[in-house]
Chain A
């Protein structure tokens, strides 16, 4: 299963609502996760099983799906949220990542 992530980059302001989408190439279950990566750092898990927040992740992050479209939403962007976000499907082997979305300051 390939996952196509969009947009590849976006510019936003603090307080904005941000939405990132991953589209799966075929039907799959809810085994999709989201990671946040800051420069020179390892990815940090945010969400697993489409919508379950990892421990310690702020509630402004949420995940949802509609068919083969999976969405990461940041309800009110904070300064520490400027980063690159990746989706990853683990519904079928091999696991695959989206191409990433870089969120920077407008």
Chain B
């Protein structure tokens, strides 16, 4: 079955960096775009970033552009989110999410979600 397992969350100081990982299994990883979606405590959902199946095409929400970088290692079935210059407003549960589409541009419908990893940025 499809599984996405995030790791790397924790408590960090404002202005510092953190790298999240997402290990995927149960599907052909290289066929799907992978997104990060976050949820601040008690708040709604916010799309953060995507890296297409081609491992080249990437897009970011304006709120993180220039600070966050998404990457993937198809040999390890893993996606990463490098987060720099962290701010208090980046505090959230970060979900790794699979794009529904196969070997094509991401369609931005999210059909499988990881359990999430909590990032807390203290000021």
Contacts and interface: CB of A to CB of B under 8 A. Distances in A.
Given A42-B114, A42-B115, A94-B61, A31 B44 contact: no
B47 A95 contact: yes
How extensive is the interface on chain A, given as a class?
20 to 34
Nearest to B93: A42
Interface string A41-57: 11111001000001000
Contacts of A93: 59, 108
Interface stretch (A9-17, A18-26, A96-104): A96-104
A90 B108 contact: yes
B45 interface: yes
Interface in B66-123: 95, 100, 107-116
Interface in B44-65: 44-47, 59, 61
A63 interface: no
A43 B113 contact: yes
A88 interface: yes
Contacts of A54: 111
B111 A42 contact: no
A93 B35 CA distance: 13
Interface of B: 44-47, 59, 61, 95, 100, 107-116
Interface of A: 31, 33, 35, 41-45, 48, 54, 86, 88, 90, 93-100
